[in-house]
């Protein structure tokens, strides 16, 4: 069947249509501009934007795929983690559609969606694979097996800030526009990554090999900017951005490749909004190549939040024979990533 995926966990309203692992069409609307003057996502503004965007986004996805409402055979929706009000808008819409169409509903973990996004570009994930998930709110190294059935093993997570959060907060200190990640990436183009020696947190021999920490790096970057300001000197923005990006990309890819080596895994998948970063992408490819590991990074449009990735998980669940979610299912704003779905398929 055609699976409609709905995503509304943060400031993107996404709808995607997937059948048998193939992306048929998708559309995304973002309320990012409405949050810009506050320097971060305002939950109530995000929720209201989902209310007005959801129906048009679903229509656009259908039109793009050349499909009609009655072609939808199942609905998958993000139930968490994310902003409570934002999630509830998407879930209410998904329940309404599933009920009206008489098709099953599946509750999907947002981060599993980020992982599954790559399957729409590169095909089924090898079992096992190491996944580096780097987004606005999360930074984790995972050992992923069968997304529809198996628990997801956390090799390590960030102990404090997520990598995307580090980019967003440092960008603010640098005076760059919101959202900070893409702004840092653009500013870094003309900079020298070796101009500032920013720290590489938790990379010492005694440190947890797969844990991350970005708050110290954030502070180091803020202090570097502050020192220029005190001296009344112009901030060498491009160099600062390039050096920060280099530090983040270095730590992320070093640990991810080490995890592949130690666990004897031949594929590294890098997903989430920060996988859109040009240096993270380039360094992941380079270090994987050196280590004889196959790198998989989805195209930019599938890295940041979208509905196609949620449909991709729904499609895996449908094909694995998962039990649908009841219509009284609730959102879980702080859902831990244990399984890809609310109702994974039981292992025989």
> What residues line the site for ligand ATP (CB under 6 A)?
9-10, 82, 110, 114, 135-138, 164, 167-168, 179-182, 184-185, 272-274, 276-277, 304-305
Distance from the Cα of residue 309 to its chain's centroid: 10
**223 class by beta-carbon count within 10 Å (0-12 exposed, 13-18 middle, 19+ buried):** exposed
Q: H or E element: which one contains 26?
A: strand 22-30
Q: Is 133 annotated as a binding residue?
A: yes
Output the smallest distance, CB 265 to Mg ion, in A.
29
> Is the CB of 305 or the CB of 315 nearer to Fe ion?
305
Q: Is 213 annotated as a binding residue?
A: no
Output the smallest distance, CB 12 to Mg ion, in A.
5
The partner in contact with residue 166, picked from Fe ion, ligand ATP, Mg ion, none with C-beta cut-offs of 5 to 8 angstroms by kind, is none
Contact 153, 142 (CB under 8 A): yes
The partner in contact with residue 137, picked from ligand ATP, Fe ion, Mg ion, none with C-beta cut-offs of 5 to 8 angstroms by kind, is ligand ATP
Q: Interhelix angle for 215-230 vs 237-263, to 10°?
A: 160
Q: Is 30 annotated as a binding residue?
A: no
**66 class by beta-carbon count within 10 Å (0-12 exposed, 13-18 middle, 19+ buried):** exposed
Q: Is 134 annotated as a binding residue?
A: yes
> Is the CB of 184 or the CB of 331 nearer to ligand ATP?
184
Output the smallest distance, CB 245 to ligand ATP, in A.
7
The partner in contact with residue 276, picked from Mg ion, Fe ion, ligand ATP, none with C-beta cut-offs of 5 to 8 angstroms by kind, is ligand ATP
Torsion of CA 88, 298, 127, 290, to 10 degrees: -140
Q: Interhelix angle for 84-101 vs 43-65, to 10°?
A: 30
**Residue 176, φ and ψ in degrees, nearest 5:** -90, 155
Q: Is 306 annotated as a binding residue?
A: no
Q: Is 93 annotated as a binding residue?
A: no
Interface with Fe ion includes 8 (CB under 5 A)?
Answer: no
Output the smallest distance, CB 32 to Mg ion, in A.
6
Residues in touch with Mg ion (CB under 5 A): 10-12
Give the x-and-dash track for 127-156 against Fe ion (CB under 5 A).
--------x---------------------
Nearest residue to ligand ATP, scored by beta-carbon proximity? 273
Output the smallest distance, CB 285 to Mg ion, in A.
25
> Would you say the C-alpha torsion 173, 177, 179, 180 has a positive or negative sign?
negative
**Beta strands, E only, 39-119:** 72-80, 105-109
Residue 91's SS3 state is helix
Output the smallest distance, CB 176 to ligand ATP, in A.
10
Output the smallest distance, CB 7 to ligand ATP, in A.
9
Residues with Cβ within 8 Å of 206's Cβ and at least 6 positions away in sequence, in order, are: none
Closest by CA position to 315, among listed 108, 20, 67, 55: 20
Residues with Cβ within 8 Å of 184's Cβ and at least 6 positions away in sequence, in order, are: 167, 170, 171, 174, 176, 241, 244, 245
Q: Is 140 annotated as a binding residue?
A: no
Give the x-and-dash track for 294-323 against Fe ion (CB under 5 A).
-----------x------------------
User: Which residues fall in the annotated binding site?
Assistant: 110, 114, 133-137, 168, 181, 185, 277, 305
Q: Which residues are annotated as a binding site for substrate?
A: 133-137, 168, 181, 185, 277
Contacting positions for Fe ion (CB under 5 A): 135, 305
Binding-site positions for Fe cation: 110, 114, 305
């Amino acid at each position: 069947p055609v699976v409609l995926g709905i995503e509304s966990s943060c400031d993107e309203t996404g709808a995607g249509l997937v059948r048998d692992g193939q992306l048929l069409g998708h559309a995304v609307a973002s309320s990012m501009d409405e949050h810009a003057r506050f320097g971060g996502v305002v939950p109530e503004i995000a929720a209201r934007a989902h209310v007005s965007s959801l129906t048009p986004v679903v229509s656009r996805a259908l039109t793009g795929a050349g499909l009609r409402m009655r072609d939808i055979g199942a609905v998958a929706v993000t139930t968490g983690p994310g902003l409570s009000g934002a999630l509830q808008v998407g879930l209410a819409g998904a329940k309404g559609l599933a009920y009206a169409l008489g098709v099953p509903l599946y509750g999907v973990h947002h981060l599993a969606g980020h992982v599954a996004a790559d399957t729409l570009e590169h095909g089924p994930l090898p079992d096992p694979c190491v996944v580096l998930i780097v987004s606005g709110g999360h930074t984790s190294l995972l050992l992923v097996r069968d997304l529809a059935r198996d628990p997801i093993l956390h090799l390590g997570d960030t102990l404090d800030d997520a990598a995307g959060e580090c980019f967003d907060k440092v960008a603010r200190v640098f005076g760059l526009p919101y959202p900070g990640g893409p702004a840092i990436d653009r500013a870094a183009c003309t900079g020298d990554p070796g101009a500032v020696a920013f720290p590489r947190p938790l990379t010492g021999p005694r440190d947890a090999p797969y844990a991350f920490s970005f708050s110290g790096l954030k502070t180091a970057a803020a202090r570097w900017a502050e020192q220029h300001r005190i001296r009344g000197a112009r901030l060498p923005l491009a160099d600062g951005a390039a050096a920060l990006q280099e530090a983040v990309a270095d730590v992320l890819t070093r640990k991810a490749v080490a995890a592949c080596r130690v666990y004897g895994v031949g594929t590294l998948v890098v997903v989430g909004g920060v996988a859109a970063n040009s240096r993270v992408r380039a360094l992941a490819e380079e270090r994987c190549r050196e280590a004889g590991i196959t790198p998989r990074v989805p195209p930019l449009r599938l890295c940041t939040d979208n509905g196609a990735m949620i449909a991709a998980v729904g499609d895996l669940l449908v094909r694995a024979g998962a039990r649908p979610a009841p219509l009284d299912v609730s959102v879980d704003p702080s859902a831990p990533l244990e399984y890809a779905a609310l109702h994974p398929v039981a292992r025989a």
